[in-house]
Structures are given as structure tokens and as C-alpha cells.
Amino acid sequence: MTTWDAESFDRFEREGWAGRSDAYREGFARLTARFVAPLLDAAGVGPGTRLLDVGCGPGPVSAAALRRGAQVTAVDASPEMAALAAAAHPGLDVRVALLDALPFADGEFTAVTGNFVIHHLGDPAAGLAEVHRVLAPGGRAALTCWNQEAMRALALFGEAVAESGVARPAEAPETAPFLAGCDAAERPAAFCRLLDAAGFRDADVETVQLLHRVDPGQWWHDITAGTPVAGTVLHHLDAASRAAVRRVYDRKVAAHAVGDGFVALPAVALLGAATRAG
């Protein structure tokens, strides 16, 4: 898939998450969890907030919001992810639903969070319009997305595929539609414009970056077993091609070594927040 086709991308996403929820929770979610506190702060989540957590995955945002005293409803497109969130957080109201077709009335929530979900939509503008619709006037939205190639922890894999010279399978998208075509420096402003276009006011996008300290072999497993694009790419390669990609990955990831066999991988996110006009 080299050109944008929202329906194909959404189909890829639906199929791509299937069977990966346990590996995601055990691996990649340890990284996304580190962005939860700034996300909840940006959404103003506290006691009494009526929060909708979209693309909840195994539920790290919902769980932290419950601990802050919010009333939390969570949705995820993946039945497996929704089941993990429900099992891990008894009492959490979890539904299987798409972000761009939310099964809620207008103005039902005072805050909406989406931790690393908006870039998984074929039509992110439609998702932001739904977030706006279900918020009450004055309600806050906060959403994170990766700042693509600045996000070294993920970019390493794509670069290893490209540099190893193997043919990238057509089934796996090369980039997400969200902010595609912008270079890293332009993305905060482009994210702001998308929030403005959805009808929000006071849109603001900040960059949140950290180092993810991890065993490099574990990280290979975390991204190839627990995320749809890397997993699909590897699945379609023969054993020799997989080994070639792994060799380049091993060489590139070693540049981030910090001792004791661990690496510290830069992870860079954009955190967009905005208010629904009254």
C-alpha cells in the first residue's frame, strides 16, 4: 500500500491488531504508559471528570484516570484489546467501537483522551470530528501521536527494512495518513490545524520526548510481535530476508547502547490538546 486509501488502511489496522494484544500489553504498552500522565494533565482529568478514553488498548490511560477519581468509559476497535482492558480493570465501562463512529450522544463527556490512536485511523479528521461531537461545551480533548521518523524507537525497524534491501510487502503501509507529507518540524502546526478544522478552540501541540531503556532483543520482539506494521512486514518475508533485516536492526540499535546490554531509544510524541467551544 503506497498511496492513501483510508478504507484499505482501516482494514489493515483491523486485521493487523488481531492476535497482537497480549504482546502489545507486555511490551510496547510499557512505552506508551509513560505518556499517560501528561496526556491526562492536558485533558484536565481529575475527580468527577466524565472521561472517554478512545483506542484504550489494554487500558493504561483509563486505569490512571480511574485512580484520579474520574468516571471512565473506554472504547477500542479491537475486541481483544477491549477484553484485556475490561479484565484488568473491573468496573471499567469498556466497549468495542471505532473512534470515527462513537456510540455516544452529543456532549456526553467532559474530556476525551486518545493515547497513540489517531495515527491508526485512515481518516483522522473524521475521528477528531467525533471527539468534538461527544464533548460537552468547554470539554477538553488530548491526543498523542508519534512524531514519525524523530521517533527513533520505531524508525529503526523501517530503516532496517529499507537498508537490508528486501522487498517491503505491499500489504504493510509505509506511513500513517495522519500528518503524512509533513516533515518533523512542521508536524506540531499541522496537528494544530487539524484540531482547528474539527471545530476546537485553543489548540496547542507540545512535543514530549523520553528515552526508552530496553533490551534490544526484547524491543525487536515488542515491535514485531506487538505492533501491526512491523509484524505484518516480517510475516510476509522469508527466513533469509527476516535475518537480513534483523542484522541491520542489530547494527543500528547498537548505536544506542548504554551498558549492561541495554539501549536507550529516543521516543518522541506530539501531544495535542484543545477545548470544545461553549
Ligand X SMILES: C[S@@+](CC[C@H](N)C(=O)[O-])C[C@H]1O[C@@H](n2cnc3c(N)ncnc32)[C@H](O)[C@@H]1O
The two beta strands, 71-76 and 262-276, are: unpaired
Closer by beta carbon to ligand X, 128 or else 166: 128
Closer by beta carbon to ligand X, 17 or else 220: 17
Task: Give the CA distances from residue 111 to residues 101, 145, 155, 260, in Å, rounded to whole numbers and listed in that order.
Answer: 17, 18, 31, 42
Using CB under 6 A, which of 43, 45, 61, 198 touches ligand X? 61
Return the ∠ at Cα 278 (arms to 200 and 96), rounded to 5°. 60
- The CB-of-228 to ligand X minimum distance in angstroms stands at 8
64 binds ligand X (CB under 6 A): no
Binding mask 115-144 for ligand X (x = CB under 6 A): xxx--xx-----------------------
Residue at 66: amino acid letter: L
Whether 42 and 18 have beta carbons less than 8 Å apart is answered as no
CA 40/CA 62 separation, integer angstroms: 10
- The CB-of-254 to ligand X minimum distance in angstroms stands at 26
219 binds ligand X (CB under 6 A): no
Return the ∠ at Cα 115 (arms to 120 and 211), rounded to 5°. 105
Query: What SS3 class is residue 174?
Result: coil
| Cell numbers found for residue 209 | 520526548
Using CB under 6 A, which of 40, 43, 45, 56 touches ligand X? 56
Segment contacting ligand X by CB under 6 A, of 96-104, 206-214, 247-255, 269-277: 96-104
Per CB under 6 A, residues contacting ligand X are 13, 17, 29, 32, 54-57, 60-61, 76-78, 81, 98-100, 115-117, 120-121
